[in-house]
Structure 1
Amino acid sequence: MEARKAPNPLEPYVVISADCHAELPTEQYREYVDPDYREDFEVYLAEKAAASQVGGFIDEQFAQDWFSEHGEGIAGGWDVGLRDKELDSDGVVGEVIFPDADAVSGVAGAPFGAGLAQSGSLDPGRAMAGARAHNRWLAELCSHSPERRAGVAVVPILADVDAAVAEITRAAESGLRGGIMIPALWASYPPYHDRRYDKVWAACQDLQMPVHTHVGAAPQQEYGEHLGIYVTEVRWWGVRPLWFALWSGVFERFPGLRWGATECGAFWANDLLWLMDTRYLREHSAKKMSHLLEGDLTMPPSAYFDRNCFIGATTTERRELARRYEIGVSNMLWGNDFPHPEGTWPHTREWLRRSFWDIPIDETRQILGLAAAEVYNFDLDALAPWPGASVLPRRTWAKTMR
């Protein structure tokens, strides 16, 4: 029997960020907006300009300092040349791209609110028009070094399922291979356990387009000025659609569908899987439940999670890494959140040293890039030559942490 080759600590790490962001300054979407919505777009621009973009939930002094120190890098949210410069400097060779490049002032944002905070409360026609405009532009961005980019299409699936399937198909044909992002809040529309969405799941399975929810949307009208409520539960809203899909048998009916919850943390996963499995297996607290509990499921929830689901574990925390065996090492996809201030950019190398210095080499490689390469079909041979591949090798990390 051939001995297993030990991981080489000096081999560069191929780092793929499973959570980056790109978007145009809103007024620059004009040419990408459907002609029937151009007039609405001008009204939307005027309304957006009249609204205060900084203040309230954002600290004004922080915003001033952030733009003063990182203005050029932030422009990488839409300028592909600056983007590659920043990613290379950060040691990132591949990226999965979500909307909302500007998480501070909101200057860069898809038309009609078709971004991270999209929900069922948006006007359906405008929401789809805004999504299509963003997806058209994103496909152009991803055409530059396409081996490096997996763009995620914004698709409002709630109001018109057939229109959503058409946009998913069009987005895939345009080169957006990162999958789709759906609203985390469905408002007055049927929840995701409803079979009306099976057309969407079938299209995504057939086209190998992962389905995502992303942190951002929450019922902010309920919070008043209590920001602490928002930061406490916003990740919960982002993850919630996952258990609607799981318990209603979506992954049983569509075994090839991939489903990700991005930038919602990973800390919740092992406890949630324990909770769902113990209920499914009728342990003490669930003995009284009827057959409606398991529904169409043929195996425990954790088995579906391992087969179908993944976590975009943006800015992965040490306490989350400590739970990696319960969550699943290959279920955790690291991200630098470029160009958001809550991410690791522009100090990713330092963050990686502090976070992964004692994690086994093969597991580090999985979380930092190999797991994302599998989900999004990145060609590792094509990525290897990129300058960002020279992330500091393991021996340097260990010396740094002593």
Structure 2
Amino acid sequence: MDTHASTFPLIISVDDHTVEPAGVWQDRLPARYRDTAPRIVRAPLKEMTFLGGRFRPVMGEPGDEGPLGDWWVYEDLRRPLTRLDTAVGVDRDEVRLEVITYEQMRPGSYDVPARLADMDLNHVQSALCFPTFPRFCGQTFTEARDRELALLCVRAYNDWTVEEWCGPDARGRLIPLALIPLWDPELAAAEVRRNAARGVRAVAFSEIPPHLGLPSVHTDAWDPFLAACDETGTVVAMHIGSSSRMPSTSADAPPAVGSVITFANCCFSMVDWLLSGKFERFPNLRVMYAEGQIGWIPYILERADVVWEENRGWGGVADKVTRPPSELFAEHVHGCFFDDAFGLRNLGSIGLGNVLYETDYPHSDSTWPKSREVGEAQMGHLPADVVERIVRGNAIELLGLTPDGLWPGPA
């Protein structure tokens, strides 16, 4: 581990990503599913667009012209690996929306020893990683026709996460994040408990479930799942884009528009949760917003408190939200950032205990390999004990890590 001369704390990143190795599902599912389970095929790209927040790739046939890439094939889905999945090590001006193969990506994207080496280069001790092919909360399997196979795929991903990605070779430095079968809250609750029994303390969920055709958090539909999280101390982790709909303004808006306003879904989602009554019904429930940044939070809390105080009589929340939303936020919600100098200047209006740090490896927004330098530049005005809390202390408490910042392993 490179500790350098810097006194900046070793980072615990609560939002990195893994590009799943090709054998995750082929190696774990019954043989009868070998031809239908997710698998990698190398094929040319016919065409691809990314406008209005919508990603549309078209896979070519063998012999077609076009750049070759590795594609995940599952039921009718053809999903290529792209440079945006793993951009670290590539000059930012050279990052394009293009298909790639495993050989064209940095090995730390999918290989545990290589990932640990890249974490060393970046002053990172430990990392919680969101998936790529399943998408940020397992939407890929939620959309599948064969629900029996989809459930097996969710469980296989979780087994791979615990046993291999976060297994002995990771030495406690990779922190598991489980998926759930979103289409069935009872099955989701069972999967939360299955993984909590082996030490998993975080589960991915959608920022705005109705965008996936699922019930909102204002219904009772999710109560079995939320009860399981409440009872096991499992954090509900929501990544931007986990509603399969990135914010945009029009069908022809370039990707840069959506990139500026990625926080918007987190903003809408947080208001949903604060005014849902769930935090009062499930007092141990904690949620976190990955890659949502934090600078927008103070105004939303101010506005939510005003609405709760002045308009709750007709606003439909008087019977279920009995405390100011800002109080509920302080106890239950955590914002995550990698580059938000404005938010750090307004830390007192957010709450020291509600802020977590991330590096977003290996995405194009990642601060790798300069996350320490970025953190030092943004947090240089803060006392050392405050920086310690933001960079590692809050994550240790929230995710049940050891005092040294490591995942303790299967229970």
TM-score greater than 0.5 by the shorter chain: yes
SS in 2 for 1:272: helix
Asked if 1:197 corresponds to 2:230, the answer is no
Per-residue CA shift, 1:51-84, capped at 9, x if unaligned? Answer: 665599999942499989x967x32122111111
Q: Aligned in 2, Cα 1:12/1:345: closer, same or farther, shift over 3 Å?
A: closer
Given that residues 137 and 205 in structure 2 are in contact (C-alpha distance below 8 angstroms), is that contact kept between their aligned partners in structure 1?
Answer: no
* Structure 2: distance between partners of 1:43 and 1:15: 34
Output the CA distance in 1 between the equivalents of 2:160 and 2:389: 31
The 5 A counterparts of 1:51-62 are 54=82, 61-62=94-95
CA distance in 1, matches of 2:84, 2:192: 35
Tell me if 1:270 matches 2:330. no
Q: Go from structure 1 to structure 2 and tell me whether the alpha carbon gap of 1:230 and 1:129 turns closer, same or farther (over 3 Å shift).
A: farther
For 1:298, give the aligned amino acid: T
1:25 aligns with 2:53: no
Give the C-alpha shift of residue 40 in structure 1: 2.2
1:123 corresponds to which of 144, 150, 155: 144
1:362 aligns with 2:385: yes
**Contiguous gaps of at least 5 residues in structure 2:** 43-58, 60-70, 73-77, 407-411
Match of 1:240 among 268, 272, 276: 268
Matches within 5 A, 1:201-240: 201-217=226-242, 218-219=244-245, 223-226=250-253, 227-240=255-268
Separation (CA, whole Å) in 2 of partners of 1:119 and 1:236 = 22
Instruction: Please state how far the C-alpha of 1:255 moved relative to its aligned partner.
Output: 0.8
Q: Which amino acid aligns with 2:25?
A: Y
CA distance in 2, matches of 1:196, 1:166: 15
Provide Cα deviations, 1:215-265, integer angstroms capped at 9, x if missing partner: 124436995342345335443224433332321210001111111111111
Structure ranking higher in helix proportion: 1
Q: Does the Cα contact within 8 Å between 1:316 and 1:334 map onto a contact in 2? A: no
Q: Is 2:306 the partner of 1:306?
A: no
Cα root mean square deviation, aligned: 3.5
Name which of 379, 396, 400 aligns with 1:373.
396
Look up the match of 2:115.
83
Aligned residues: 355
Which whole-Å CA distance do the structure 2 matches of 1:39 and 1:71 have between them?
26
Out of 40-49 and 371-380, give the one that drifted further: 40-49
* Structure 1 residue ranges without an equivalent (≥5): 1-8, 101-108, 384-402
Corresponding position of 2:63: none
Residue identity in the other structure for 2:293: G
Offset of 1:22 from its aligned partner?
Answer: 1.8
CA distance in 1, matches of 2:404, 2:82: 43
Q: Give distance in 2, aligned partners of 1:360 and 1:150.
A: 28
Q: Would the alpha carbon gap of residues 341 and 188 (structure 1) be closer, same or farther in structure 2, given more than 3 Å must change?
A: closer
Q: Which has the higher contact order (CA 8 A, sep 6+)?
A: 1
For 1:9-20, what aligned pairs fall within 5 Å after superposition? 13-20=9-16
Secondary structure at the counterpart of residue 362 of structure 2: coil
For residue 296 of structure 1, what is the aligned residue in structure 2? 320
C-alpha distance 222-87 of structure 1, shift in aligned 2 (>3 A):
same
